[in-house]
């Protein structure tokens, strides 16, 4: 383990809570060898336990049910006040976690948190992950859930989205949907998406000593790929043909290691004629501002975007 890196001071205009989140020392922990399955399993277990502890005290105003959807365990999360009619909108929410963490009950918890921004029913696949299940297991799972969702909802009532690794799978899902002749959803949400597993963007160098909470995932990406080419569009959707994608919202921040991923994906969508809306928040790190008031503006943008495209009610406690 390397010595901690002291990040740059946080901008003075931020709230105390946001500043505190940015001034945490950066620690780089080496990954296990690619063939050390036990080492990866231990790391995943430790990371999931740490995340569960961080989120354990939250009370979320919603209900949840674990279902088997086309063979994939899927949490159906219903925020308080969400419409539940047979034709009400559904958000296919794909959890993050570097493509290896965030499974099990964490899928439910993280979906519950993200559902606060968009008060509609969320379907959240607990997709398979390495080391036991490398690519294409996760992508196969989210495609299977999307196919079932299309059986009960019109595409115009579906939003697909995810943050970080979830953004990777959300974009890859739509590439697969195109290839298989499936209809596009009404909208796509990519929150600081991990759409380039080759990590070729500028921010992977310029923000390496600035990005709090996220460092390079090169070894993890190789584990996920399972010997496949990291530049394959189903692994790195940035390199895919995104023509015909639905209206897309993209969010990142100037202290987010995945800033390049986000702005390059936005540009690729625009060049393909897709209606794409990009929001870059000053000093926002990869995992967001946390409980700081600045995060409410991000949530408001997400809620307004969902409302615009599927007619869901916006979160009245947040304004843009």
Total-model pTM: 0.95
Residues facing residue 281 across a β-bridge: 253
pLDDT value, residue 314 = 53
pLDDT value, residue 2 = 65
Is 315 a residue whose pLDDT tops 70? no
Residue 281 phi, psi dihedral angles, 5° rounding: -100, 130
Integer Cα distance of 121 and 78 in angstroms = 5
Q: For the segment 265-297, what is each residue's pLDDT rounded down to a tens digit? A: 999 999 999 999 999 999 999 999 998 999 999
pLDDT value, residue 54 = 87
- Answer whether 253's CB lies under 8 Å from 285's CB: yes
Mean pLDDT for the stretch of residues 180-193 = 98
Burial annotation 299-313 (CB, 10 A radius, 16+ → b, else e): bbbbbbbbbebbebe
Give the model's confidence band at 318: pLDDT under 50 very low, under 70 low, under 90 confident, else very high.
very low
Integer Cα distance of 256 and 282 in angstroms = 10
| 16-310: CATH topology | Rossmann fold (3.40.50)
pLDDT value, residue 317 = 38
Residues 6 or more apart in contact with residue 253 via CB below 8 angstroms: 192, 259, 280, 281, 282, 283, 284, 285, 286, 288
Q: What are the residue ranges spanned by the domains of the chain?
A: 16-310
């Amino acid at each position: 383990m390397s010595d901690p890196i002291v990040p740059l001071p946080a901008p003075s205009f931020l709230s105390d809570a946001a500043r505190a989140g940015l001034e945490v020392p950066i620690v780089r922990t080496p990954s296990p060898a690619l063939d050390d399955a036990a080492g990866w399993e231990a790391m995943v277990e430790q990371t999931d336990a740490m995340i569960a502890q961080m989120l354990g005290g939250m009370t979320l105003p919603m209900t949840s049910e674990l279902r088997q959807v086309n063979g994939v365990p899927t949490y159906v999360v219903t925020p308080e006040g969400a419409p539940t009619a047979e034709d009400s909108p559904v958000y296919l929410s794909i959890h993050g976690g570097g493509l290896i963490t965030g499974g099990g009950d964490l899928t439910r918890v993280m979906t519950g948190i993200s559902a606060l921004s968009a008060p509609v029913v969320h379907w959240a696949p607990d997709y398979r992950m390495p080391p036991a299940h490398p690519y294409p297991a996760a992508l196969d799972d989210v495609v299977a859930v999307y196919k079932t969702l299309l059986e009960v909802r019109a595409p115009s009532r579906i939003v697909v989205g995810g943050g970080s690794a979830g953004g990777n799978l959300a974009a890859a899902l739509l590439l697969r949907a195109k290839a298989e002749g499936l209809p596009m959803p009404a909208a796509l949400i990519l929150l600081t998406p991990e759409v380039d597993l080759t990590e070729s963007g500028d921010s992977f160098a310029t923000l390496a000593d600035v990005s709090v909470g996220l460092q390079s995932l090169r070894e993890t990406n190789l584990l996920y790929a399972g010997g496949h080419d990291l530049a394959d569009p189903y692994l790195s959707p940035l390199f895919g043909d995104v023509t015909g994608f639905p209206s897309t919202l993209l969010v990142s921040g100037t202290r987010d290691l995945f800033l390049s991923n986000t702005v390059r994906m936005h540009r690729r969508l625009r060049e393909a004629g897709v209606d794409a809306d990009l929001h870059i928040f000053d000093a926002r790190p990869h995992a967001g501002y946390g409980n700081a008031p600045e995060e409410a503006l991000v949530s408001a943008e997400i809620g307004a975007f969902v409302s615009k495209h599927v007619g869901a009610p916006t979160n009245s406690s947040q304004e843009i």
